[in-house]
Structure 1
Amino acid sequence: MAEPIKIHTPFTEEMSKKFHIGDAVLITGEIYAARDAAHKKMCEALANGEELPIDWHDKMVYYLGPTPAKPGDPIGSCGPTTSGRMDAYTPT
């Protein structure tokens, strides 16, 4: 197995062209988490002429689903969620 490819955000489109299916990567830097509900709110905001809370250009988003938090924890464990839920919002 090849050494993982190390990348640091921001993650540009040019950088993405260097990867292939099956590549292992180690990512450091800022990674935003958002799932379908967040994408829906962002698309609605844009449709209403509102600005988004962050500039998404060259940002990395992790589609995750949290589990319920244990008492005293702000969030439970997080794991990937189905990216297909975001397909309708991705072009925007």
Structure 2
Amino acid sequence: MSDAPEVNRPVVKPVRVVIAACLVAPFVAMLWVSSYARIEPTFIGIPFFYWYQMLWVVISTLLTMIAYKLWQRDQRAREAVRAEEGVAR
């Protein structure tokens, strides 16, 4: 029997991929400047360049909230599995 502690490696689950996508999407959208570096279409007189960025402030907030809630749910599920494994041993 080995005295080395058990090492639980992180598992890539679909929910974690969704979390990563939610957190990466705003960066990609803002760093791809050529996609929004124009004046038209305007929205209530505001050039596209500006209202597109302001729209991403709201979208980023929503995506971060979604990622956080998914992360919380994933952590609760992991804790439940650990608790069951602890009882089963």
TM-score, with length taken from structure 2: 0.23
Higher strand share: 1
Asked which structure has the greater RCO (Cα within 8 Å, sep 6+), the reply is 2
Higher Rg: 2
TM-score, with length taken from structure 1: 0.22
